[in-house]
Copies of this chain bind each other. A is one copy, B any other.
């Protein structure tokens, strides 16, 4: 049997382009004892994958030219020589960017029986949702009555951060890149939304939206957003640094904010985090998030591209602001 895969054809210089990716067909091996065959149903594209396209040391190994890309995936077992993973079960794994694959089940998790669509295990119930929850609870320690600023607020992580912030009793200020996204977040209960593409002075807009100052900043964007946040932080404010998407396609490094002295003046705490290091809290998170989803307290939006061949376009779209909520590729 053959499987389609998308491999890294060349390393992007700046914004990724279609030519950096190549679809290939590979022959899958026959199943050995203990192995099973998975047909992928969904794959995730996430901004952090851009970092893996650079050949450098990081918290996760770089992708290799000519090899299949990796990323979150949800698949269905269609053939099995492994009793723990029976045919018909659905599994989550890091085996995206391919139509089918054979595995012995290492690093695979069986999805629970639930009425929730399985695709949400790549979003609100998966890495992005867990990232939002971890950043607010374990890193920034957001408290009731505080003011939270979220950049990249319409994205997979940001849109959950905003909603969790409201559930935790915070005033939430969001920054997004389109009026459509702004309206959507307002509907979700966010207190004030700034369209950073149309505002003249982000720092001033933030000050107008949060005259009482910012206690927690959930950082997804970097650059000008970090500068504006630093200017508006309250004493002892906390910044959970999840991502800096504005810089992922830089061909030369961008200078940082010119107001880092605020770290001293305001006695700020800035902490970067990688959600995988907090995965032992996943069951605690999943239980709560499952309840919130079931009661509609959290709404999980998705932007779906259809077909493996659309995966590069979906990935590139992340950096063009094309997604509202979780960006997914359907492989059904």
Contacts and interface: CB of A to CB of B under 8 A. Distances in A.
Interface string A222-260: 100010000000010000011110010000011111111
A301 to B, nearest CB: 25
Contacts of A266: 59, 272
Contact of A255 (B222, B256, B274): B256
A296 interface: no
Interface residues of A, number: 34
A12 B54 CA distance: 46
Nearest to A253: B258
A260 B277 contact: no
A210 to B, nearest CB: 16
A272 B268 contact: yes
Nearest to A262: B272
Contacts of A1: none
A268 B255 CA distance: 19
B59 A261 contact: no
A256 B253 contact: no
Nearest to A256: B256
B264 A274 contact: yes
A267 B272 contact: yes
A243 B244 CA distance: 25
Interface string A52-85: 0000001100000000000000000000000000
A269 interface: yes
A274 B244 CA distance: 28
Contacts of A59: 235, 265-267
B226 A243 contact: no
A110 interface: no
A112 to B, nearest CB: 29
Contacts of A222: 260-261
A282 interface: no
A253 B259 CA distance: 7
A63 B263 CA distance: 21
A270 interface: yes
Contacts of A235: 59
Contacts of A267: 59, 271-274, 277
A234 B266 CA distance: 26
A270 B273 contact: no
A282 to B, nearest CB: 18
A257 to B, nearest CB: 5
Given A256-B257, A258-B256, A271 B269 contact: yes
Given A59-B265, A59-B267, A265-B59, A244 B272 contact: no
A114 B14 CA distance: 64
Give 5 closest A-B pairs by Cβ, nearest first: A256-B256, A255-B255, A253-B258, A263-B272, A264-B272
Interface of A: 51, 58-59, 222, 226, 235, 241-244, 247, 253-274, 277
Given A226-B260, A268-B272, 16 more contacts: A51-B265, A59-B235, A59-B266, A241-B263, A244-B264, A253-B258, A255-B258, A256-B258, A264-B274, A266-B272, A267-B271, A267-B272, A268-B271, A269-B269, A270-B270, A270-B271
